[in-house]
Amino acid sequence: MKPDQVIKWIFFDVGSTLVDETEAYDHRVQDIIAGTDITFQEFDDMRIALARQGLDGNSTAINHFGLTKTPWHPEDEVPYPDAKSTLAALIQMGYKLGIIANQKLGTAERLENWGLRQYFDVIAASAEIGYAKPDKRIFEKALEMAGCTARESVMVGDRLDNDMIPAKALGMRTVWIKNGLAQYQSEELGKDIADVQIASLSELLSYM
């Protein structure tokens, strides 16, 4: 991705992009299926199958089995091993970094706890902004906060529906990071939606 325009800003989703949510999702699944005859393997197989269809596998699997979503376990979230080094390298390359994410209140504090807050000049989180992805207004607000145009920015995220499609529609460059259930989704699903597809944060450095 060597765009014909100058890229100044790179925006990131949080969950399954900067932070590994695998254990948190699995913990929730164990809570959800407790007291039922559904096994973890059955649920896991279903959410992967639904993800392969381009759906939000976790939420759709919960609905498929007629179950109820249980509380999230934030203590299970951990930054990906290459998160800090990748963010630091991008700043060294001259980019400004921001967050565009569907997050509950306190995103800045959580980033601080993970050792990531220092890398971001803009944090546009749904709880504070008042709009949630895929609503384009959260993207527009982030661009306004950064003082840049869509064509001067890149969006990095794991969800085609929440991250890639709305960002692309606004004219941002798009990088689909295939973490979490996205790892099971075919390259074809992201065709014409994601400018670049990567399997880890550090791969991003090769395209910027």
For 150-201, write each residue's pLDDT tens digit.
999 999 999 999 999 999 999 999 999 999 999 999 999 999 899 999 999 9
> In DSSP terms, which residues pair with 156 in a beta bridge?
12, 175
In a shared domain, residues 104 and 193 = yes
Q: Same domain for 105 and 151?
A: yes
* Same structural domain, 127 and 43: no
Query: Residue 15: CB partners within 8 Å, gap ≥ 6?
Result: 21, 77, 101, 103, 158, 180
Bridge partner list, 176: 157, 197
- Asked whether residue 1 is domain-assigned, the answer is no
Which contiguous run of DSSP H or E holds residue 13?
none
The answer to whether position 170 is within a domain reads: yes
Return the structure tokens found at 121.
């000049």
Beta carbons within 8 Å of 165's beta carbon, 6+ residues apart = 134, 193
Residue 2 belongs to a domain: no
- Per-residue pLDDT of 3-23, as tens digits, reads 556 899 999 999 999 999 999
Q: Which domain holds residue 124?
A: 9-20+77-206
Model-level pTM greater than 0.85? Answer: yes
Q: Is 139 within 8 Å of 172 (Cβ atoms)?
A: yes
- Looking at the fold, whether 170 and 129 belong to one and the same domain comes out as yes
Helix (H, G, I), strand (E, B) or coil at 11: strand
Residue 41 counted as domain residue: yes
pLDDT tens for 75-126 read: 999 999 999 999 999 999 999 999 999 999 999 999 999 999 999 999 999 9
